[in-house]
């Protein structure tokens, strides 16, 4: 529904009246009466809303959260920016997200096709690198969009379209965050919308990607570090963040070592084609390597900021 001359708050009131009317309606179906409910997402056109499609996307994010949070409700897009945690949560206690930025968690964007590359070129690299999406850049290296396996499948399903430019199939409404963005903001966004991943940028240039699985890996690694649930205090000393990173690096390195040992055992004993196993184990180790790089980026960031602070003091 397009409501002209209406702001988001008034549109939400309209949607609430519609929701209530729908939920109260009795629909005869043979010998029974059926009741239905509806969920609504509401968004207002803002100054930076570039197209009708973008406005619909904003409303769809509100709709997705309405469904995820129990259905039969109205959710405004602007409410997605409200505090995520309950009032009884300890203020400032964000657990594994405390003091962490998007740069610390992101998986490195190892492949960023140019918008003038062909669908064929992108598909070949998708298959070689075993990825399902990639940020797209323009001729200046700035983020221009994102292309996924689904986009390539749609374009090539009928056996043609291989020579089309990526700019013709990519999505331009990309959710992106600067490297310095607190990871809490990214988590809040991915928890509330249907968007599967966000792109991390530095001065407009894509440097990494964060998905729900990226966050899940980080939370899993953080939970294994001594201090949580054993009476210890992760923040007991000023170097708490560095200690956590060091422990995370050790734990991740041990996991990578176990995967490599498993791969060697399989190759040594397997008489049949062992390539599928190699590909599978390499994919798992790639995730672990991304975790190691994330820890190191965080360490380097702290050292760099410390050095900059010393220079500023002088």
* Cβ(39)–Cβ(73) below 8 Å: yes
Please spell the DSSP secondary structure of 184-242, one letter per residue. Answer: HHHHHHHHHSS--EEEEEETTEEEEEEEHHHHHHHHHHHHTSTTSSSS--TTSSTTHHH
The residue written with tokens 């221009």 in the block is 144
Are residues 114 and 63 part of one domain?
A: no
pLDDT of residue 4: 92
- CA gap 162, 155 in Å, rounded: 8
Query: Is residue 86 a part of any domain in this protein?
Result: no
CA dist list (Å): 255 to 117, 128, 212, 245: 37, 24, 21, 15
Q: What is the CATH number of the domain that holds 32?
A: 3.30.70.270
Query: Is residue 312 a part of any domain in this protein?
Result: no
Query: Is residue 314 a part of any domain in this protein?
Result: no
| Segment 2-14, tens digit of pLDDT | 999 999 999 999 9
pLDDT of residue 69: 66
pLDDT of residue 7: 94
* Cβ(233)–Cβ(227) below 8 Å: yes
pLDDT of residue 282: 73
pLDDT of residue 88: 40
Are residues 251 and 190 part of one domain?
A: no
Q: Which helix (H) or strand (E) holds 177?
A: strand 176-178
Q: Which two tokens stand for residue 302?
A: 């702290």
pLDDT of residue 163: 92
Are residues 242 and 135 part of one domain?
A: no
Q: Which two tokens stand for residue 144?
A: 């221009």
Domain count, the chain: 3
| Segment 249-283, tens digit of pLDDT | 787 788 888 888 888 887 887 666 666 677 667 76
pLDDT of residue 224: 58
Domain end residue (candidates: 81, 111, 126):
81
pLDDT of residue 93: 54
Alpha helices in the chain (DSSP H): 8-24, 52-68, 102-105, 119-129, 149-156, 183-192, 212-223, 240-269, 275-313
Are residues 293 and 243 part of one domain?
A: yes
Domain end residue (candidates: 189, 220, 251):
220
pLDDT of residue 254: 84
Domain hosting 20: range is: 8-81
* Cβ(94)–Cβ(101) below 8 Å: no
Residues (pLDDT < 70) of the chain are: 68-69, 81-94, 193-194, 221, 223-242, 244, 270-276, 279-280, 283, 290, 293-314
The residue written with tokens 């292309």 in the block is 147
Query: Is residue 230 a part of any domain in this protein?
Result: no
pLDDT of residue 201: 93
* pTM check: above 0.75: no
Query: Is residue 227 a part of any domain in this protein?
Result: no
pLDDT of residue 231: 43
pLDDT of residue 225: 56
Q: What is the CATH number of the domain that holds 121?
A: 3.10.580.10
């Amino acid at each position: 529904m397009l409501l002209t001359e209406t702001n988001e708050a008034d549109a939400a009131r309209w949607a609430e009246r519609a929701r209530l009317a729908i939920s109260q309606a009795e629909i005869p179906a043979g010998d029974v009466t059926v009741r239905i409910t509806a969920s609504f997402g509401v968004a207002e056109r803002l100054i930076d809303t570039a197209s009708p499609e973008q406005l619909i996307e904003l409303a769809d994010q509100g709709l997705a959260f309405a469904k995820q949070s129990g259905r039969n409700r109205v959710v405004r897009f602007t409410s997605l920016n409200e505090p995520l945690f309950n009032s009884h949560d300890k203020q400032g206690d964000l657990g594994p997200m405390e003091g962490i930025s998007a740069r610390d968690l992101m998986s490195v964007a190892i492949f960023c096709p140019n918008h003038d590359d062909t669908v064929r070129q992108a598909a070949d690299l998708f298959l070689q690198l075993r990825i399902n999406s990639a940020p797209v850049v323009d001729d200046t290296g700035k983020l221009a969009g994102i292309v996924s396996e689904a986009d390539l499948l749609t374009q090539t399903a009928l056996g043609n379209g291989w020579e089309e430019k990526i700019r013709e199939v990519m999505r331009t409404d990309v959710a992106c965050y600067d490297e310095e963005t607190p990871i809490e903001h990214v988590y809040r966004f991915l928890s509330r919308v249907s968007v599967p991943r966000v792109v991390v940028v530095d001065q407009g240039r894509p440097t990494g990607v964060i998905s729900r699985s990226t966050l899940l890996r980080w939370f899993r690694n953080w939970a294994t570090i001594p201090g949580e649930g054993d009476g210890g205090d992760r923040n007991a000393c000023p170097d708490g963040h560095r200690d956590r990173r060091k422990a995370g690096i050790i734990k991740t390195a041990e996991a990578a070592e176990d995967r490599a040992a498993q791969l060697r055992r399989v190759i040594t004993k397997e008489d049949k084609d062992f390539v599928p196993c190699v590909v599978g184990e390499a994919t798992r180790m790639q995730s672990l390597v991304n975790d190691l790089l994330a820890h190191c980026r965080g360490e380097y960031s702290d050292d760099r900021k410390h050095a900059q602070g010393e220079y500023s003091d002088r």
